Structure 1
Amino acid sequence: MTQCYFQNIPDITYEGPNSTNTFAYRHYDPSEVVMGKTMAEHLRLAVCYWHNFVWPGNDPFGGQTFERPWFPADSMELAKAKADAAFDMFRILNVPYFCFHDADVRPEGQSFAENTRNLNEIADYFADKMEETGTKLLWGTANLFSHRRYMGGAASNPDPDVFAFGAATVKTCMDVTHRLNGENYVLWGGREGYETLLNTDLRHEDQQLGRFMNMVVEYKHKIGFKGALLIEPKPQEPTKHQYDYDVATVYGFLKRHGLENEIKLNLEQGHAILAGHSFEHEIAMAQSLGLFGSIDMNRNDYQSGWDTDQFPNNVPEVALAYYYILQGGGFSTGGTNFDAKLRRQSIDPEDLILAHAGAIDVCARGFKAAAKMIEDGTMADFVTDRYAGWQGETAAKMLNGEMDLDQIAQMVETTDLRPEPKSGKQEYLENVINRFV
């Protein structure tokens, strides 16, 4: 049924920037060596299951626009047909990784036990597909937000039975991720937050979340899972106020519950924008706190003001994201997952392929620009020079606590210190970036 879903669509291969072939990479050459590693090794590209093979094309004002032969995937037969199409797409795009939620890949059962059986059966099917194609699992995760049982959250739900059901579901998803040699496990708290304070105990919900995450860490070590645990920040949608607002908020939560050395972050461009930040800000903040793990690459519509999950097409934005990723040493277990979806009028099978091919080329262009910025060193040297004064003896004493306020005030008075402002040269640095993008 689905073996011919992408019928007559060729494998996407690199043909160079002058190619006029619609079904070709112009900038992404997986074997091209940049800064000592191939592009494939640097970018670690992944395709997500949910937007591509589950989403029907609905929006708040209209219903399904996509027609897929595996819809509604409410049986194991249709779930396997969906997997056939998915792995065909991974092969066509020549991406090394994919990502999924449990609810993306198995039909919803009448009980937790049936859900688990369905997930394990499709995991066996995945294992065969992965061995056949060489496609690997970047990360797995549990959907703890779509079903009505989670309308008040999962880990933060006021009902301990929902907490327990969510915890058991995470356990089974971690088992499957471990069995499939997944390189990370992601926890996205889509409804871990609240709509109104009128019915919410903030202190209690924080305690619940902290215990939930500690149990996940404990189970990781119990089963010997070597991948990274990742939390994905988002400030709102679907919950009005979410507890994983941004990098800084999550860091505070991790410190509060003793988890800062156990969990890292999966950062999404669209979520950063919703939080009032740039993507590069969130990446740089995570790097500075030792929390950077992986990214979901997409973009938001800046006019609509909500999470539109569009495919990336802005090379300068992407270049800055990869610049700060490279500054921190690049990916280790993480990668570039395209958490992006077609527009609901893009209904043809080839639209799925072309959207990803274009996004991959944008990432390749941005990454190569970022690598050139790193190798050039102008931007990094400027920042180093700007803070060079802190290398002096007195500055070091102020910073490391060898001088208190009285001593500093005395030093300022006795030396008649009269500091003059120095230009931050923002426009100059923006011009430097434009040399590369």
Structure 2
Amino acid sequence: MALIGDKEYFKGIGEIKFEGKDSDNPFAYKYYNPDQVVAGKTMREHFKFAVAYWHTFCGQGADPFGPGTQNFPWDEPSDAIDAAKAKADAAFEFITKLGVDYYCFHDFDLIQEGATFTESEKRISAIVDILKGKQAESGVKLLWGTANCFSNPRYMNGASTNPDFNVLARAGGQIKLALDATIALNGENYVFWGGREGYMSLLNTDLKRELDHMGRFLGMARDYARSQGFKGNFFIEPKPMEPMKHQYDFDSATVVGFLNQYGLQDDFKLNLEFNHATLASHTMQHEMEVAAAHGMLGSLDANRGDYQNGWDTDQFPNNITEITEAMITFLQAGGLQGGGVNFDAKIRRNSTDMDDVFHAHIGGIDIFARGLITADKILTSSSYESLRKKRYSSFDTGKGGDFENGKLDFKDLYEIAKENGELDLQSGKQELFENIINQYI
């Protein structure tokens, strides 16, 4: 494997390879064999694993109580373009050593925002040229791009939902540049995460007007990208709150309703995050089931929350039961529509060695591979599917079948209820289903 850049940042670490579950090598995959076929596809095809530029190469471990603890050597150059090039060198070295095929970014993860809009545009153009070379040299691809329209103080009241039109217009200009960059880098998708698209107080908020503005804004962004030849998917990433008290992309069901209300359902799908599901008091399997039921299961952000903390901790995934249940839905839905599995996760503040980021990603990739293998065995070798189908068997034939096929009216239901009289209880067998999951794990 050739070094992608002028300097080696992760010294002493070679390409991470599959060695099997009996391996004791901390720099090897125990379950992720990219060429192993599961349910008709290789693991590489199923997952399309991606590295998140922001957490892995930008986050430094800061929290509300103290500054960062991770000092990255690629942050040393003082010139913005030199620093961006160094970061790109480190990123593509890491991604190629990890052996994954994709990365994801926000615009100003790639390069520091300029003092003016014009300077920012020049900087984005410069880093895009650098990344084109990196992609060509390494074979690494862009899963999706997005714009950070939430960190800068100008977006304190939102971007497309801001009560000041000039801020909305600035967001439009910034997202145009991010779309242009994504298209130039052959990005397969584009994500909208409304980091501050919501409210802190309803007292000063015209909620309907803000929702209308967001719907119109997203339609305009779609139309622009399509006019530039972009054929990929647009994703919206649900999150219920934080940083705002309430965010308009609360959960899967809310986003599905929003997309249908504003006529965006044919172009937009969902990018779902595990930690965001937790914050919405859902499981990730729930969020995936809702999206899949509407044909909008687009992509996944892989992480987990701390179940004792009520905020977005973005830890690397390690819960085999949670991942297995998500992979059951993943396989039943036929996989993702356009997207992949992006590790929107960060190492802990007290993980300060350069190899810690490898251990984190190796563990995250392995837990998904193990969950996929387990889910496939549950669906193909256990009684799980037959038990589930049996629970709904009264709708397969007879009057139940007539109901599903639209052949009954409400008076018919009345007559059937009258004729049946009192009914026997039908057990949901929940404990048996849970035991099947545990048996195969």
TM over 0.5: yes
1:210 maps to what in 2?
215
1:39 maps to what in 2?
43
Residue correspondence of structure 1 range 91-170 to structure 2 within 5 A? 91-170=96-175
- 1:329 equivalenced with 2:334 (yes/no): yes
- 1:232 equivalenced with 2:237 (yes/no): yes
Q: 2:252 aligns with which of 247, 254, 274?
A: 247
Q: What TM-score do the two structures reach when normalised by structure 2?
A: 0.96
* Contact 2:49 2:102 survives alignment (8 Å): yes
1:343 maps to what in 2?
348
Higher mean Cα deviation, 379-388 or 296-305?
379-388
Q: Take 1:403 and 1:38, find their aligned partners in 2: how far apart are those partners?
A: 45
* Contact 1:2 1:85 survives alignment (8 Å): no
* Contact 1:3 1:88 survives alignment (8 Å): no
Measured at CA, do residues 129 and 416 of structure 1 come closer, stay the same or move farther in structure 2, by a change above 3 Å? closer
Shift of residue 378, structure 1, vs aligned partner: 2.4
Q: 1:50 aligns with which of 41, 47, 54?
A: 54
- 1:376 equivalenced with 2:381 (yes/no): yes
Share of identical aligned residues, percent? 48
The SS at the match of 2:162 is coil
Q: Take 1:416 and 1:28, find their aligned partners in 2: how far apart are those partners?
A: 53
Q: Take 1:230 and 1:92, find their aligned partners in 2: how far apart are those partners?
A: 28
Q: Which amino acid aligns with 1:92?
A: K
The SS at the match of 1:264 is strand
Q: Which amino acid aligns with 1:43?
A: F
Q: Deviations over 1:184-214 (max 9, x none)?
A: 1000001000000111110110111010111
* Contact 1:319 1:367 survives alignment (8 Å): yes
Q: Which amino acid aligns with 1:9?
A: I
Q: Which amino acid aligns with 1:320?
A: E
* Contact 2:52 2:344 survives alignment (8 Å): yes
Higher mean Cα deviation, 243-252 or 211-220?
211-220
CA RMSD of aligned residues (A): 1.5
Q: Take 1:102 and 1:187, find their aligned partners in 2: how far apart are those partners?
A: 12
Measured at CA, do residues 406 and 333 of structure 1 come closer, stay the same or move farther in structure 2, by a change above 3 Å? closer
Shift of residue 147, structure 1, vs aligned partner: 0.5
1:423 maps to what in 2?
427
> Where does the alignment leave 5 or more consecutive residues of structure 2 unmatched?
none
Measured at CA, do residues 417 and 256 of structure 1 come closer, stay the same or move farther in structure 2, by a change above 3 Å? same
Number of aligned pairs?
A: 436
- 1:8 equivalenced with 2:16 (yes/no): no
The SS at the match of 1:211 is helix
Shift of residue 252, structure 1, vs aligned partner: 1.1
* Contact 1:2 1:69 survives alignment (8 Å): no
- 1:65 equivalenced with 2:65 (yes/no): no
The SS at the match of 2:73 is coil
Shift of residue 294, structure 1, vs aligned partner: 0.4
Q: What TM-score do the two structures reach when normalised by structure 1?
A: 0.97
Shift of residue 17, structure 1, vs aligned partner: 1.2
* Contact 2:297 2:337 survives alignment (8 Å): no
> Where does the alignment leave 5 or more consecutive residues of structure 1 unmatched?
none
